[in-house]
Structure 1
Amino acid sequence: MALKIVVYKPLPEDVLDELRRQAHVVVLEPALAQSREAVAEALGEALVDADGAIGASIKVTPAMLERATRLKAISTISVGVDNFDLPDLTRRGIVLAHTPDVLTESTADTVFALVLSTARRVVELAEWVKAGHWHGSIGPEQYGIDVHGKTIGIVGLGRIGGALARRAALGFGMHVLYANRHANEAAERAYGARRVELPELLSQSDFVCLQVPLTPQTQRLIGAPELRAMKRSAILINASRGAIVDEVALTAALADGTIAGAGLDVFEHEPLPADSPLLAMRNVVALPHIGSATHETRHAMARCAAQNLLDALAGRLTRNVANPEVQPR
């Protein structure tokens, strides 16, 4: 019996062709008006007799897997695995693969773009020029703040956090503080990074960058007390997961000047509703979750995820496994 693979996110044609050479591939193509819930329901039906699945952006729940007795592996086209119940997958003997390496540099570029664009008010002033308001030399009303020589605090110094530290220290002469469960000695040697507890990082940093995965321990990690602990001149950057920040508290802190601004690539609910108060704030740069969204990186992620899946189905996947303790079916 041929392997059946379900694809639930668009893949480049060359990647699809490679999968089709080795398995029967079913591609879910939801209608434009179809809700995420309807897509999830269709995915659950498609998984019933599938051996593997590849995709992203859909929450895969235990209920969706109850009848998927043949399913051996899921490959997510992302580094984050918060759309899955890892203990449940492990109990069922389903391997979960992800793509932790190929998106590191592109995502770090996005984070630093948020640092620069918030500090120098790039988006706001570009719109100001387009609106025809530039009639002479600019004044203090249009000034931003320096980035070089400032202190950046990175919460989570893993792959992306380390790449961000490299850009900050070597490219902009920034002082790097970091909060992490474990010391990152390589970053300390190479970039002069100094490990501190979160309260010190918040109080000392000019830019606070969140680079932790979403877990029960990190959900709402940054709330009203943490925002009050930051400098009034500080900027919060979040390109990890939206739910790490209490958006209601953040909105209030931005409105009353508790902090100076925010650069956000992720939100608790995506897409961000058009009536979100964050979109009306001049001191907010909001992006549509573009962390790894370059042609090169998204193609590399898709190829990596496809190879992960094929290797997992063949019983030879030894890296990029999010639940390495699983006993495969």
Structure 2
Amino acid sequence: MRLGPHGARAPARTPQRTSCRCGGLVMVERILVVGPKDCLAMVDDLAPKGFEIVKALHNSPEQKAALPGAHYFVGFIQQYVTPQLYKEAPHLRLVQMLSAGYDRADLEAAGKSGVPLCANGGANSVAVSEHAILLMLSVSRRLITQHSNVVAGRWHGNAPPTVHEVRNKVLGIVGLGTIGKKVAKLAQAFGMIVHYYDIKRLKEEEEDALGVRFRLLPEILRHSDVLSLHVPLNDSTRHMIGKEELAVMKKSAIIVNTSRGPVIDEKAMTAALSSGNLFGAGLDVFDEEPTPPDNPLLKLDNVILTAHLAGPTFESNITRLRNGFDNVQRVARGEPALWVVPELAG
């Protein structure tokens, strides 16, 4: 095995193997895995046998050299899904994203190619749901303010901040997919009352089993003590929470966003937070990422901010690769790919 810079495997000459079944030579199919170092370090323990495995860092020479001969493109790769990808990699049989979101992928190009474009099968759902609960609790208890007071030697400060419990509070979940359902279960462990809005409404028996109740979006906005967003970013969800929607929310309400930044009108939310029309917000995503240093959100003391890191835990990265390699093997066996993005699913 030859390694390129930073420990990424350099693309080698495509090996051949003898097929006992036909007596001829067949090309070994190549899996190109692209991602950060911590993800690539897990590949060798999970990669299936019988394939050529090429590991490469983002936009590295190894990635560019290996792409033309790749049959399976795996990784945090939605940004590469463009018409150019399919020109440069004519042998592709599967584009397997390790991310849940795909708002940066060119779906038109993917559809025209006929190559399945697949998400991660909910691999990060545990991580993101836990992070959403973390943000709810941290904002409710003014965790950063309390921490800052202690380390600065102020102990309680001039006056202890007003903090809240989440028990018996109404959690409004917008988007009850895999992540939203897990958030609902975790919130119920804290005694929260869970309402949800989704364009795909559950059957009554499904609501009973999960312990949730459907509400229209205006009802969710008016009555929620905590609003948690779990929707994909598309034309229908961009700025779905804007100035008008924020205006009808309780002044004591908390917003949690672990989906995509532009789902909320960030300027309108910042204004509401600054004027006391919202209690606080816990945000893992922003309009622009990385968020610029002059973003007014960074100066507020009623927000908890994380750097779009809700999903990539050590455990979720293993699950992402496990799901991805399972899908590769399915396609290699001639079976339909799992987790094709909904817009392209047949």
Q: TM-score, normalised by structure 1?
A: 0.86
Over residues 138-160 of structure 1, what are the superposed CA-to-partner deviations in whole Å (9 max), with x where a residue is unaligned?
67542212211111110011111
Structure 1's 62 and 323: CA in aligned 2 closer, same or farther, altered over 3 A?
farther
Q: Higher relative CO (CA 8 A, sep ≥ 6), structure 1 or 2?
A: 1
Whether 2:55 is the aligned partner of 1:27: answer yes
Aligned to 1:278: 297
Whether 2:147 is the aligned partner of 1:126: answer yes
Structure 1's 44 and 17: CA in aligned 2 closer, same or farther, altered over 3 A?
same
Whole-angstrom distance in 2 between the partners of 1:213 and 1:268: 14
Whole-angstrom distance in 1 between the partners of 2:60 and 2:251: 42
Whole-angstrom distance in 2 between the partners of 1:221 and 1:161: 17
8 Å contact 2:78–2:105 — kept in the other structure? no
Moved more, 146-155 or 65-74: 65-74
Over residues 178-202 of structure 1, what are the superposed CA-to-partner deviations in whole Å (9 max), with x where a residue is unaligned?
1111222355213542211111110
Q: Which has the larger radius of gyration?
A: 2
Whole-angstrom distance in 2 between the partners of 1:85 and 1:302: 23
Aligned to 2:128: 107
Aligned to 1:163: 182
Count of residue correspondences: 316
Whole-angstrom distance in 2 between the partners of 1:294 and 1:224: 33
Which amino acid in the other structure matches residue 148 of structure 2?
A: E
Structure 1's 235 and 324: CA in aligned 2 closer, same or farther, altered over 3 A?
closer
Which amino acid in the other structure matches residue 118 of structure 2?
A: A
8 Å contact 1:232–1:260 — kept in the other structure? yes
Q: Percent identity?
A: 34
Aligned to 2:29: 3
Whole-angstrom distance in 1 between the partners of 2:223 and 2:44: 48
Whole-angstrom distance in 2 between the partners of 1:7 and 1:226: 42
Structure 1's 240 and 51: CA in aligned 2 closer, same or farther, altered over 3 A?
same
The SS at the match of 2:164 is coil
Which amino acid in the other structure matches residue 166 of structure 2?
A: V
Whole-angstrom distance in 2 between the partners of 1:269 and 1:118: 22
Whether 2:91 is the aligned partner of 1:70: answer yes
Aligned to 1:178: 196
Aligned to 1:312: 331
Over residues 61-103 of structure 1, what are the superposed CA-to-partner deviations in whole Å (9 max), with x where a residue is unaligned?
2233333221121111122222322342122111112223332
Q: CA deviation at 1:274?
A: 2.8
Whether 2:274 is the aligned partner of 1:255: answer yes
Aligned to 2:71: 51
Over residues 248-307 of structure 1, what are the superposed CA-to-partner deviations in whole Å (9 max), with x where a residue is unaligned?
221122112221211001122222223322111111100122222322222121222122
Whole-angstrom distance in 1 between the partners of 2:71 and 2:47: 13
Moved more, 106-115 or 2-11: 2-11
Q: TM-score, normalised by structure 2?
A: 0.82
Whole-angstrom distance in 2 between the partners of 1:182 and 1:15: 36
Aligned to 1:34: none
Which amino acid in the other structure matches residue 75 of structure 2?
A: G
Structure 1's 150 and 57: CA in aligned 2 closer, same or farther, altered over 3 A?
farther
Whole-angstrom distance in 1 between the partners of 2:62 and 2:245: 41
Which amino acid in the other structure matches residue 28 of structure 1?
A: A
Instruction: Give the 5 Å matches for 1:155-234.
Output: 155-169=174-188, 171-185=189-203, 186=205, 188-234=207-253
2:340 to 301, 321, 325: 321
Whole-angstrom distance in 2 between the partners of 1:212 and 1:40: 32
Whole-angstrom distance in 2 between the partners of 1:223 and 1:323: 26
Whole-angstrom distance in 1 between the partners of 2:213 and 2:48: 49
Structure 1's 15 and 225: CA in aligned 2 closer, same or farther, altered over 3 A?
same
Gaps of 5+ in 1: 31-38
Over residues 197-217 of structure 1, what are the superposed CA-to-partner deviations in whole Å (9 max), with x where a residue is unaligned?
111110111101001111211
8 Å contact 1:74–1:309 — kept in the other structure? no
8 Å contact 2:82–2:110 — kept in the other structure? no
8 Å contact 2:40–2:55 — kept in the other structure? no
Whole-angstrom distance in 2 between the partners of 1:211 and 1:225: 20
